[in-house]
């Protein structure tokens, strides 16, 4: 399945503390690969990366695994 990836550049508004805190909360709440794909479609890549450092280590490893699957599917498509 092909998932959309947000192609917006992360403006300074995306990178302020309030924004990265919100994105980190969204990342922490992800329970499935599809939820991560939805966030990747909404938020700019740099904003996700900035927020991901606030996520728990356990959740970060889940996110890494899901993103590896999503990236492999993207390459295969």
CA 14 to chain centre: 13
Q: What total of structural domains would you count in the chain?
A: 1
* Average pLDDT rounded to a whole number, residues 14-43: 97
Residue 2 lies in a domain: no
CA 12 to chain centre: 18
| pLDDT tier for residue 1 given thresholds of 50, 70 and 90 | low
Residue 1 lies in a domain: no
* Average pLDDT rounded to a whole number, residues 17-40: 97
* Average pLDDT rounded to a whole number, residues 42-49: 96
Identify the domain containing residue 49 by its residue range.
Answer: 12-76
Residue 3 lies in a domain: no
Residue 47 lies in a domain: yes
Tokens of 8: 């917006």
CA gyration radius for the chain?
Answer: 12
* Average pLDDT rounded to a whole number, residues 35-63: 97
pLDDT of res. 2: 77
């Amino acid at each position: 399945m092909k998932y959309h990836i947000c192609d917006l550049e992360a403006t300074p508004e995306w990178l302020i503390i309030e924004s990265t805190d919100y994105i980190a909360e969204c990342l922490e709440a992800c329970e499935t690969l599809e939820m991560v794909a939805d966030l990747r479609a909404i938020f700019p890549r740099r904003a996700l990366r900035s927020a991901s450092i606030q996520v728990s280590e356990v959740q970060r490893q889940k996110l890494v695994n899901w993103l590896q699957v999503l990236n492999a599917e993207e390459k295969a498509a």
